[in-house]
Amino acid sequence: MRPPPPRLSAQRRPPQPSGGNLLAPPKLKSPTPLRPPPSAAATLRGPAPRGNAATPAGSLTTSTLAPTQRSSRKVILEPGHSPLDWAALVSNPKNNLRGAGLPPNLIRVTPSLLKSHHGRKGVDAWTSYNGKVYNITPYLPFHPGGKGELMRGAGKESDKLFLEIHPWVNWEGILGECLVGIMVSEHEAVGANELDAMD
Ligand code: HEM
């Protein structure tokens, strides 16, 4: 038979689970004060992954991956190329981030036109995502994964690569100002290459 637990005044003692004589850990109010507010850069990304009670949304302190699988492939960006610097660049309408020599309207881009924008020999690098074509050249020095990684999508469709690596990144939020046009099949680009002119 167990000895009776030490007597404590009923007022001072929190309710105990039956059979337990350990004091409950102090209760934290809410996790919010422990977390810093989201950075301006974070607002350019998509919504934070949703968590559950064990892994609250936004908590990145735990991972189910082995340490070797977790190593980040982010690069150190040159000074002046932070996400905030990019945000400042895109917010200035004087910066033409679509590239020189394009009409103000969106253009029709055939697979061969996309392929010709490979990013070499002074030619801008274009890539497509969800059927839209973007000039990625101005974003190259700002890409947190490095220029080389981003260039893997140059001259071709990037949907698969992008979604494999960071499906949470808000593509349109970051590259919206670099939108060049939309993908069409090879024979659809007839006449003037301006979308308005067709309708
Ligand atoms: C060919 C396409 C792309 C490839 C192969 C690629 C590759 C990568 C890699 C390897 C990283 C580092 C991930 C890590 O280990 O933390 C990264 C990070 C990142 N990339 Fe890309 N990327 C591509 C396209 C893009 C595009 C088009 C954007 C913008 C619209 C973008 C925005 C970002 C951002 C914001 C991060 C940081 C992610 C974070 O902090 O969680 N990437 N990328």
CB of residue 171 inside a 6 A radius of ligand 1: yes
Q: Which two tokens stand for residue 33?
A: 């004060």
Which token pair is 84? 């905030």
Considering the domain boundaries, does residue 62 fall inside one?
Answer: no
As beta bridge partners, residue 133 has 128, 181
- Residue 36 inside a domain? The answer is no
Q: Is the pTM of this model over 0.95?
A: no
- Reported as a single tens digit per residue, the pLDDT across 126-185 is 999 999 999 999 999 999 999 999 999 999 999 999 999 999 999 999 999 999 999 999
Q: Which residue has the higher pLDDT, 187 or 61?
A: 187
ipTM confidence: 0.97
Cβ of 181 closer than 6 Å to ligand 1, yes or no, is no
In a domain, 31, yes or no: no
pLDDT reported for residue 92: 97
**Among 43-47, 163-167, 189-193, the range of highest mean pLDDT:** 163-167
Residue closest to 62 by CA, chosen among 50, 72, 54: 54
81 falls within a domain: yes
**Cα 81 to middle of ligand 1, angstroms:** 14
Token look-up 């979308």 returns 195
Does residue 10 form part of some domain?
no
Ligand 1 pocket, residue 149 CB under 6 Å: yes
Lowest average pLDDT, out of 7-16, 35-44, 58-67, 162-171, goes to 7-16
The number of folded domains in the chain is 1
Among 46, 51, 76, 48, CA closest to 63: 51
Mean pLDDT of the chain: 79
131: CATH: 3.10.120.10
How far is the C-alpha of 9 from the C-alpha of 23, rounded, in Å?
Answer: 14
Residues of the domain holding 194: 73-198
- Asked if residue 126 has its Cβ within 6 Å of ligand 1, the reply is no
